[in-house]
Amino acid sequence: MDEPREIQTEAFFAAWNHDGKKVHEEIVEAPENFDSKYCIGVGGNGSVYKTLLSTGQLVAVKKFHENNGTDHQQAFKSETSILDFILSDNEKATELEWFKRVNIVKGLAKATSYLHHECFPAIVHRDISSKNVLLDDECEAHISDFGSATTLDPDSSNWTPFAGTFGYSAPELAYTMEVNEKIDVYSFGVVALESIMGEHPGDLISSLLSSPLHAVDVLLKDVLDQRLSPPKRQIAD
Measured CA to CA, the distance from residue 155 to residue 153 in angstroms comes to 5
Q: Which residues contact 177 (CB under 8 A, 6 or more apart)?
A: 159, 160, 161, 162
Cβ-contact 169, 187 below 8 angstroms: yes
d(CA 144, CA 151): 16
DSSP strand pairing (123-124 vs 150-151): antiparallel
Residues 152 and 174 sit within 8 Å (Cβ to Cβ)? no
Which CB contacts under 8 angstroms, 24+ apart, belong to 47-55? Answer: 51/27, 53/12, 53/15, 53/26, 53/27, 54/15, 54/26, 54/30, 55/8, 55/11, 55/12, 55/15
Q: Identify the CA nearest to 127 among candidates 68, 84, 63.
A: 84
221 is in an annotated binding site: no
Q: Is 153 a catalytic residue?
A: no
Q: How far apart are CA 190 and CA 139, in angstroms?
A: 19
Out of 127, 136, 203, 222, pick the active-site residue. 127
Closest CA to 235 of 215, 218, 220: 220
Catalytic residue numbers?
127
Q: Which residues are annotated as a binding site for ATP?
A: 63
Q: Which residues are annotated as a binding site?
A: 63
